């Protein structure tokens, strides 16, 4: 089983960024110390970019060979027709995840260009959202 977690803009600042919403843990330490340990039987890759085109290139690169993509496109979720189209274009199933419950926040966060073409959406469980997505692929 080959899975990739793709994180979008500003998620490189997890642990420092708005900790009351996003928590105190950096994604790197969560990934290395929890996810990789817990799912050592899974080939698990992590990619983060603040650049829309790099996220699209990565989706294209893995989208015909991996078993699943866990995608937190962050703010691009609510704005990017291009990432939505990329998710539609590939064969690998995508699960959209969010750390916060986007539906309990500002109205602009209620729109997703990814969800219509995603296998499912997980939102609001903190970093556990990523784990729930991995579990759904297993
Ligand atoms: C987020 C929610 C988005 O609305 C926001 O722009 C983010 C993070 C989340 O994981 O809760 O950057 O995707």
Q: What is the dihedral of CA 56, 90, 102, 108, to 10 degrees?
A: 60
Is 94 in contact with 114 (CB distance < 8 Å)?
Answer: yes
Check residue 37 and give its pLDDT: 96
At residue 106, the pLDDT reads 97
Active-site entry in 46, 76, 98, 130: 98
Which domains can be identified in the chain, with CATH numbers?
2-137 (3.40.50.9100)
3-state secondary structure of 96: strand
Residue 102, ligand 1, Cβ within 6 A: yes
Rounded distance from Cα 74 to ligand 1 centre (Å): 4
Segment-wise mean pLDDT, segments of 10 residues, the chain, 138 residues? 98 94 94 96 97 98 98 98 98 98 97 98 98 97
pTM of the model: 0.97
Q: ∠ CA 14-6-82 to the nearest 5 degrees?
A: 115
d(C-alpha 86, C-alpha 95), whole Å: 13
103 catalytic, yes or no?
A: no
Atom of ligand 1 nearest to the CA of 78: 4
**Protein residue whose Cα sits closest to atom 1 of ligand 1:** 74
Q: Give pLDDT, residue 133.
A: 98
Q: Candidates 9, 52, 97, 98: which one to mutate for ligand 1, based on the most atoms within 8 Å of Cβ?
A: 98
Residue 85 confidence (pLDDT):
98
């Amino acid at each position: 089983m080959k899975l990739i977690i793709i994180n979008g803009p500003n998620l490189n600042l997890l642990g420092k960024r708005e900790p009351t919403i996003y928590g105190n843990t950096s994604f790197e330490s969560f990934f290395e110390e929890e996810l990789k340990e817990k799912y050592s039987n899974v080939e698990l890759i992590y990619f983060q970019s603040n650049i829309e085109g790099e996220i699209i290139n990565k989706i294209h690169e893995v989208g015909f060979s991996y078993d699943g993509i866990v995608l937190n496109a962050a703010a691009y979720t609510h704005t990017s027709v291009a990432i939505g189209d990329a998710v539609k274009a590939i064969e690998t199933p995508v699960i959209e995840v969010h750390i916060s419950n986007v539906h309990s926040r500002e109205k602009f966060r209620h729109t997703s260009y990814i969800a219509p073409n995603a296998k499912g959406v997980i939102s609001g469980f903190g970093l556990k959202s990523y784990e729930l997505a991995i579990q759904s692929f297993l």
